[in-house]
Amino acid sequence: MKNFITALLPALALLAAPLQAQRDIPLQENAPDRYIVQKGDTLWGIAAKFLKQPWRWPEIWNLNKEQIANPHRIYPGDVIVLERRPAGPQLSLGPTVKLSPQVRSSPLEADAIPPIPPRMIEPFLSQPLVIDPGGLDKAPRIIATQENRVNLGAGGIAYVTGMGSDTGGVWQIYRTGPALIDPDTRQTLGFEAKYLGTGRITSGGSPATLQIVSSKEEISTGDRLVATGTPAVHQYIPRAPDRAVQGRIIAIYGGVSTGEGGRHSIISLNRGRRDGIESGHVLALHRGAVLVPDPQAEVSRDSAPLIPLPPERYGLAFVFRTFDAVSYALVMEAARPVSPGDLVRSP
């Protein structure tokens, strides 16, 4: 009998582990018993009202992997109820509250609460694109401009070759941008396609005539066209990766002139789908390796032995777009400036 119980203990421990993990989820001191979802809310913001660790949202909802990949939509007027159970806290949906006199037979997909603020990431859902070397070589190309102008802006006319029969709709205009270099291996992970603007084909043929509709930067010969797709409506759940992850920040975006970023900066990472990174993953930000001279060394400060300081956790980032070897994330929290080369790890 004793041997049987001994053999059974590991299995019982495995069954108890999820319950213990749920008990250990720290709630906010002022976590409400119920919250009415408002227009403009995000899943991250709602999770942070209840949890000190918002990425543990799936645990408190008891979501399995399939439900995380295809989550139930949450809409303004939904009531989120917090139950403080002995086995651990749990969230559920209560009766919906009407927020306005408008009549709506069913929620619209576009009304669903987004995971993070969409206005901050919308430009990055379609650009920048990560491309392999030569990835734009077969895309339609601007070969000339009206009146041989060097650069074009909105309203300008250009001539494009390689269009084929697909000439409808609005086209995005790109040129190959900077290389994405892995800070650890120094290998090129890909190139960013630099977004320049949009154009519309007004006359088919070879070459076809392109009118510039909008321009973010000046457009010239050699630039390439990519068909504009409908941005996907992403509904990813904030969560920790299923396995341990460690990577580094490649670059920071958003008009940062100092080379550093902060809360709500966009960052690119040297980890992507091949490394198990998915949209919705939350990663902790850590200060990169810092070496300081040994103050006790009996030599000059310039020649003193260097001591590596331990990585210092200072923030969180939310992955919203992934490629094979690269991903993009929004910095959600940062207690110090975010720098290229800083570490990202499982939270």
Confidence of residue 281 (pLDDT cuts 50, 70, 90): very high
Residue 42 gets which letter from DSSP?
-
- If one counts every other C-beta atom within 10 angstroms of the C-beta of residue 4, the result is 7
Q: Tell me, yes or no, whether 16 lies in a domain.
A: no
Confidence of residue 150 (pLDDT cuts 50, 70, 90): confident
List the strands of the sheet with 88-94, edge to edge.
34-36, 79-85, 88-94
215 and 291 belong to one structural domain: no
200 and 137 belong to one structural domain: yes
From 55, 36, 43, select the one nearest 117 (Cα to Cα). Answer: 43
User: What pLDDT score was predicted for residue 9?
Assistant: 45
Please write the tens of the pLDDT for every residue from 240-280: 999 999 999 999 986 555 678 888 999 999 999 999 999 99
From 165, 158, 58, select the one nearest 115 (Cα to Cα). Answer: 58
81 and 37 belong to one structural domain: yes
As for how many domains the chain has, the answer is 3
217 and 257 belong to one structural domain: no
**Percent of the residues in the chain that have a pLDDT greater than 70, as a whole number:** 80
User: What pLDDT score was predicted for residue 23?
Assistant: 57
Confidence of residue 88 (pLDDT cuts 50, 70, 90): confident
In the predicted model, what is the mean pLDDT of residues 152-169?
A: 85
The answer, yes or no, to whether residue 13 has pLDDT greater than 80, is no
214 and 286 belong to one structural domain: no
In a 10 Å sphere around its CB, with 0-12 CB exposed, 13-18 middle and 19+ buried, how is residue 48 labelled? middle
pTM: 0.78
Confidence of residue 8 (pLDDT cuts 50, 70, 90): very low
User: What pLDDT score was predicted for residue 273?
Assistant: 93
From 40, 57, 48, select the one nearest 280 (Cα to Cα). Answer: 57
The answer, yes or no, to whether residue 102 has pLDDT greater than 80, is no
Confidence of residue 14 (pLDDT cuts 50, 70, 90): very low
* Distance from C-alpha of 208 to C-alpha of 162, rounded to nearest angstrom: 9
Helices (H) and strands (E) counted in the chain, each on its own, are 5, 18
Q: Residues 238-250, buried b or exposed e (16+ Cβ, 10 A)? A: bbbbeeebebbbb
Domain that holds residue 293: 246-345
278 and 208 belong to one structural domain: no
Q: Which residues pair with 319 in a beta bridge?
A: 329
In a 10 Å sphere around its CB, with 0-12 CB exposed, 13-18 middle and 19+ buried, how is residue 269 labelled? buried
In the predicted model, what is the mean pLDDT of residues 214-241?
A: 82
Looking at 195, 227, 259, which one is the last position of a domain? 227
223 and 131 belong to one structural domain: yes
170 and 214 belong to one structural domain: yes
Confidence of residue 325 (pLDDT cuts 50, 70, 90): very high
* Distance from C-alpha of 238 to C-alpha of 142, rounded to nearest angstrom: 41
In the predicted model, what is the mean pLDDT of residues 37-53?
A: 93
Mean pLDDT of the chain: 82
State how far the alpha carbon of 1 is from the alpha carbons of 7, 72, 183, in Å: 10, 47, 57
The answer, yes or no, to whether residue 108 has pLDDT greater than 90, is no
From 113, 44, 42, 122, select the one nearest 76 (Cα to Cα). Answer: 113
User: What pLDDT score was predicted for residue 312?
Assistant: 87
* Distance from C-alpha of 113 to C-alpha of 45, rounded to nearest angstrom: 10
* Distance from C-alpha of 308 to C-alpha of 214, rounded to nearest angstrom: 49
* Distance from C-alpha of 64 to C-alpha of 61, rounded to nearest angstrom: 9
Residue 268 sits in a domain whose CATH number is 2.40.10.410
Q: Tell me whether the omega of the peptide bond preceding residue 26 falls within 30 degrees of 0, making it cis.
A: no
From 41, 56, 44, 57, select the one nearest 92 (Cα to Cα). Answer: 57
253 and 309 belong to one structural domain: yes
* Distance from C-alpha of 155 to C-alpha of 215, rounded to nearest angstrom: 9
Q: Tell me, yes or no, whether 176 lies in a domain.
A: yes
In a 10 Å sphere around its CB, with 0-12 CB exposed, 13-18 middle and 19+ buried, how is residue 31 labelled? middle
Q: Tell me, yes or no, whether 206 lies in a domain.
A: yes
Extract the tokens encoding 316. 């969180």
91 and 173 belong to one structural domain: no
Q: Tell me, yes or no, whether 235 lies in a domain.
A: no
- Residue with the larger pLDDT of the pair 183 and 295: 183
Residue 66, classed as helix, strand or coil, is helix
User: What pLDDT score was predicted for residue 232?
Assistant: 57
Q: Tell me, yes or no, whether 223 lies in a domain.
A: yes
Give the count of alpha carbons within 13 A of 312, CB side only. Answer: 13
Give Cα 131 to chain centroid, integer Å: 18
State the pairing for strand pair 290-293/282-286: unpaired
The answer, yes or no, to whether residue 12 has pLDDT greater than 50, is no
